[in-house]
Amino acid sequence: MNLDQFIENFVDLFDETDPDTIQATTHFKEVEEWSSLVALSVIAMIDEEYDVEFRGDDIRSSNTVEDLYNIVKSRVE
Amino acid sequence: MAKITFHGVGIKAMSACVPHDVYYNKDLGYLIPEDEIEKVIDNIGIVERRIAAPDVTASDLCYKAACQLMADNDIAPESIDVLLFMSQTPDYRIPATSCLLQHRLGLPRETMCFDISLGCSGYLFALSTAFAYASMEGINRVLLLDGETFSKIVNRRDKVDWPLYGDAGTATLVERGDYGDSTFMLNTDGSGENTLKINAGMRNPITPESCVERECEDGNIRNELEVFMDGMDVFNFAISKVPKSIKQVLKETDKTIDDVDYLIFHQANRFMMDFFVKKLKITSTQVPYCIHKYGNTSSASIPLTIASELAGKLEGKHSLMMSGFGAGLSWGSAFMQMNDCKVSPVIEY
């Protein structure tokens, strides 16, 4: 898996946010559109695209998009 | 592994009763910013819910559903051998609510009654118990009453839980007859106990402190007698277990999803159910929903969905798949053959 593709999948979960404003280093919880419902769609996207189980604590402990990517990457065989 | 197959036992009739009072999620402005409400409603798929009055319990709703079922199908109280009450919102801590319902419904003293306690997965576990008793020599009819009033155990200032839950009571009559095989596969993972929990109990005895409302995670308010749910962990649990559980039952019964006429999910939230449908690549099977009208009614949601959406549609032979999941963690699916199941339309209390 690669980071650019992950960011693309992540950006797709937002409706109103300018895609160019989300990068690897973006603190995603500070994005205005971020909500608990977007968090569920992140879990769904990671299940669908990477077949990885992602828990609430994984989201809570992550700050940047790259943090999410690194957890997923560590669980992809 | 709990894989159970029953022969010649099935559901003869079903009914459901919801409270009269309608609560609209569009009125949740005090809890959710006005500009987000519409998006939340779209996502969870819950427009309105029924909330029981303070003096109305799950057993009241079940009582009315049971009376309707017995009237619509000419069921004599004396013909019922076992009464099961499935709920986590019983009338009292002691005695078991099923005993009160035996008396109230005028069932004979020879009726065996007991309560079953499980979360949103409860209907399938209780239904398998009803099927098991109905299969035994000496038992003819089992009446399963599944009802919940989560409105009484959810804080109205908890934005994770309050927009979701509604109240309902249901009745399911199980008996022996000309039914094809039914297969249940039921699962448990107690390592997830903290995902959905009310802390107060015998482990954490109730004190005056337990009743004090506190600000918890993300500004949600609750006391220790009220439900906590980690929405993200529940979601992860459900999407990783439910589609697999359905596939497992199909495999064990040598069926495909196209052999299923109706697939009934526990009505958790719309976003989650849409994800299941997508993941299972369902095309022809019909997936009824009633979550827009009644919200998440915990273990009552499967029989409520059938009463709400399939009343009059289960004449003749039909194959149903049901799938429930919730606190415990606990989950399961069942493939069931229906034969002239009489479903009464939902009534109000």
pLDDT tens-digit readout, A30-39: 998 898 888 9
B199 is catalytic: no
pLDDT-based confidence at A1, cuts 50/70/90? confident
- Chain A hits for B271, Cβ within 8 Å: 37, 40-41
Query: How would residue B187 be classed by pLDDT, with cut points 50, 70 and 90?
Result: very high
**B chain contacts of residue A51, beta-carbon cutoff 8 Å:** none
Mean per-residue pLDDT over chain B, rounded? 95
In this predicted structure, what is the pLDDT of residue B277? 93
A18 domain-assigned: no
pLDDT one-digit tens code per residue, B331-341? 999 999 999 99
Percentage of chain B lying above the pLDDT 90 cut: 93
Pinpoint the alpha helices (H) of B136-266.
Answer: 231-252
- B195 to chain A: closest CA residue: A56
Answer yes or no: is A67 within a domain.
yes
The predicted pLDDT at position B129 comes to 98
* CA distance linking residue B240 with residue B229, whole number of Å: 17
- Active-site annotation holds for B67: no
Q: Any bridge partners for residue B2, and if so which?
A: B186
Q: Which residue range is the domain that position A56 belongs to?
A: 3-12+27-75
Q: In chain B, whose CA is at the least distance from the CA of A15?
A: B39
Residue type at position B49 = R
* Domain contains A55: yes
Q: What is the mean pLDDT of residues A59-65?
A: 93
Average pLDDT of span B167-196: 96
Interchain CB contact of A48 with B (< 8 Å): yes
Query: pLDDT digits over B47-68, tens only?
Result: 999 999 999 999 999 999 999 9
Which tokens go with B228? 């906590």
A21 domain-assigned: no
Domains of chain B: 1-349 (3.40.47.10)
A19 pLDDT tier (thresholds 50, 70, 90): confident
- Report how many domains make up chain A: 1
Confidence of residue B283 (pLDDT cuts 50, 70, 90): confident
pLDDT at position B134 is 97
Listed in sequence order, the residues at least 6 apart from B22 whose beta carbon sits closer than 8 Å to its beta carbon are: B48, B49, B50
Give the amino acid at B279: K
| Helix, strand, coil distribution of chain B in percent, nearest 5 | 35, 30, 35
Looking at the complex, does the CB of residue A35 fall below 8 Å from at least one CB of chain B? yes
Active site residue B266: yes
Residues of B in contact with A37 (CB under 8 A): 39-40, 43, 271
